[in-house]
Amino acid sequence: MCGIIGYAGKHGAKDILLDGLKRLEYRGYDSAGVALFEGNELRTIRAVGTLDALVRKVGPLDLKGTVGIGHTRWATHGGITEDNAHPHRSSDGKISLVHNGVVENFAAIRTFLLSQGYQFSSETDSEVLANLIAYHYQRDGKSRGKNRFLESVRRALLHVQGTYGIAALCLERPQEMVGARNSSPLVLGIGDGECYLSSDAGGFAARTKDVVFLSDGELVWTNGAEFSLTNLGQERLVAKRQELNWDPIAGERNGYSHFMLKEIFEQPQALENAMRGRFSSDGSTAHFGGLAMTPRELRQVERIVLCACGTAYYACLTAEYFIETMARIPVEVEYASEFRYRNAPMDRHTLVLVVSQSGETLDTLEAMREARRKGFRVLAITNGIGSSIAREADGGIYQHAGPEIGVAATKSFTSQLCILAMLALYLGRLRDMSFDEGVQIVEVLKAIPAQAMEVLLQNEAILHIAERHSRCRDMLFLGRQALFPIALEGALKLKEVSYVHAEGHAAAEMKHGPIALITPDCPAFFLACDDFILGKTVSNIHEIRARGGTIIAVVTRGSNIPNEIVDDPIWIPRAHAVAKPILATIPLQLFACHMGILRGCDVDKPRNLAKSVTVE
């Protein structure tokens, strides 16, 4: 969640910090703040609300300091107030700190520090870290020599239970910055005589491509000109430097009114990227270079457990249909947050697959770690290159969807669906799927980007449908088979970005309770694409119309659905069952986006949400 940026170098820190926070604002926008050295003073400026409020306070100030830290907050402990905004300062004024994560034992630490004379001005768990570092900095400080600040941070973190990504400054060490991580991302950027810290490489990607992804239990010290990497055990570590593959233009709106809308329209390219170079030369199957499992090992898999959260969970629910149909392997889908605390029986032929756009989703990361602790092979699908999940999984597949700035997942979701369909094809070809059927599925997948472009051409028509329903307060989304999870995703998108109450259901389940909600003011959004049970779906539509309900429907072009039973049709191309969930998703995204904009919502930064969920 929260966004962290830090800079130590030779240029003015103010503009660098504000630019970094702008690029990280999707991680949290309850409040924001910066702390930077100005002469012998450590200045702290904070503001409640979006980053614009901070910019109005900081912008006019003539601050020339070259070392500083910044933070944009998604509130966990404590309300949305300036006192609770970061950076936090120790009560003796010596330590300033920004923090992403949750300190689970903060109450006990706070009680101890109060007994030592330290004071608190916020309700946050983060402030205890600033005071705890100050306590260790003061205690026996002279005996620690030039590494006094770094050692104080290390000693403080030995007492912390929970998660953290931090960047810290010390008043008496004005050229130094220290960072550390545990289950909350932190990346070091290395420039020419300068270093950056960020919870997301996007915070500084426009300035340097030379990065080090910190692992859990690692600390970094820098004065800008140089850096060192150690762990909590004081071991000196060799930094694994990587070149970041990041297009700064991808972080701009490029003429679109909102990132969400831009990223919806980027889906044809994202789908192309997901498939590029991943089909066999004979065109009968998919192949992946990073699975780290041989075909023989994959043939021995007798059960697959998929773990994810939020939108990625719905991608996994769809994949259950793909994999069981094409590969005939039993699949179970688990919320990662529940899986990690269950003791579900799994035999030795079970494969665990985790899915996370960011690769930093804490519940998914911990579910993966739990499965690996029990000896299971874990593969991952993620868009986060260098992320914790990518580094800790036994093998996996990168989405290559490009940066997704909008908080609500769009192109990352359809990219996940595409890759999961390709994986189902690959597993199917290892088993009973014929060569001819494999060729057919490959051709179906290759056609999806062009078909997605066709769907996007209906943007104006979908906008008009949204205008007709923009005042509704409730909506139902209904689908069957592989389109049922897409109905769940459609309801989630509408809730996220327009704050309309929405529910997703299997269409046939309407008559078992939800049909009681039907009124003329509660539209029903059907995914009524041609399939072998289309007639059943049409019957469900009739049941709602008979009770005065309004029908919006995603319908296959040329469908036999009677025009008179659908008030607002949205057409998608006739397509194979594998392609329909991807194509049917796009109208739901556009509808939600337009509904949010029409209702005056910030669809890029929905209230109470953040892009990367790195806390429980």
Question: Tens of pLDDT along 244-268?
Answer: 876 655 667 788 999 999 999 999 9
**Is 611 assigned a catalytic role?**
yes
What is the pLDDT at residue 539?
Answer: 82
Question: Same domain for 219 and 258?
Answer: no
Q: Are residues 11 and 77 in the same domain?
A: yes
User: Quick one: pLDDT at residue 515?
Assistant: 85
Contacting residues for 510 by C-beta, under 8 A, at least 6 apart: 476, 478, 540, 543, 544
Write down the pTM of the prediction. Answer: 0.87
Catalytic annotation on 2? yes
The HSE-up count of residue 302 (CA atoms within 13 Å, CB side) is 4
- Phi then psi dihedrals of residue 491, to 5 deg: -65, -40
The reply to whether 424 and 493 lie within a common domain is no
| Paired tokens of 556 | 């296959």
One domain, residues 53 and 106: yes
Strands (E), 293-340: 303-308, 331-335
pLDDT for the residue 162: 92
Tell me, yes or no, whether 515 and 547 share the same domain.
yes
Give yes or no: residues 210 and 345 share one domain. no
Select which of 2, 316, 522, 529 is catalytic.
Answer: 2
Residue numbers in the chain where pLDDT is lower than 50 = none
CATH (domain of 353):
3.40.50.10490
Nearest CA-CA partner of 179 in 135, 223, 146, 143: 223
Q: Catalytic pick from 22, 493, 605, 611?
A: 611
pLDDT of residue 28: 83
* Residue-range definition of the domain harbouring residue 299: 253-454
Of 189, 219, 246, which residue is a domain's last? 246
Please name the helix (run of DSSP H) or strand (run of DSSP E) that holds residue 540, with its range, or none: helix 534-545
Q: What are the phi and psi torsion angles at 97 (to 5°)?
A: -150, 145
**441/515 same-domain check:** no
Q: Dihedral, CA atoms, 556, 560, 564, 567, nearest 10 degrees? A: -10
pLDDT at residue 404 in the model: 92
Distance of CA 128 to the CA centre of its chain: 27
> Residue 236 carries which side chain, given as an amino acid letter?
R
Q: Are residues 340 and 272 in the same domain?
A: yes
Whichever domain contains 213, its CATH number is 3.60.20.10
* Domain endpoint, select from 213, 246, 279: 246
Question: Are 257 and 242 in a shared domain?
Answer: no
| 342-356 confidence digits (pLDDT tens) | 888 888 999 999 999
Q: Which of 214, 246, 278 corresponds to the end of one domain? A: 246
In the numeric block, which tokens belong to residue 445?
Answer: 């997948």
pLDDT at 86: 96
CA 74 to centroid of chain Cα atoms: 14
- Tell me how many degrees the CA angle 50-21-53 measures, rounded to the nearest 5: 30
Query: What pLDDT does 400 receive?
Result: 93
State how many domains the chain has: 3
Between CA 377 and CA 364 the distance in angstroms is 15
Domain shared by 239 and 274, yes or no: no
* Alpha carbon distance 132, 137 (integer Å): 9
Are residues 398 and 363 both part of a single domain? yes
Identity of residue 37: F
DSSP string across 116-173: TT----SS-SHHHHHHHHHHHHHTTGGGGGGGHHHHHHHHHHTT--B-EEEEEEETTE
Same domain as 519, residue 410: no
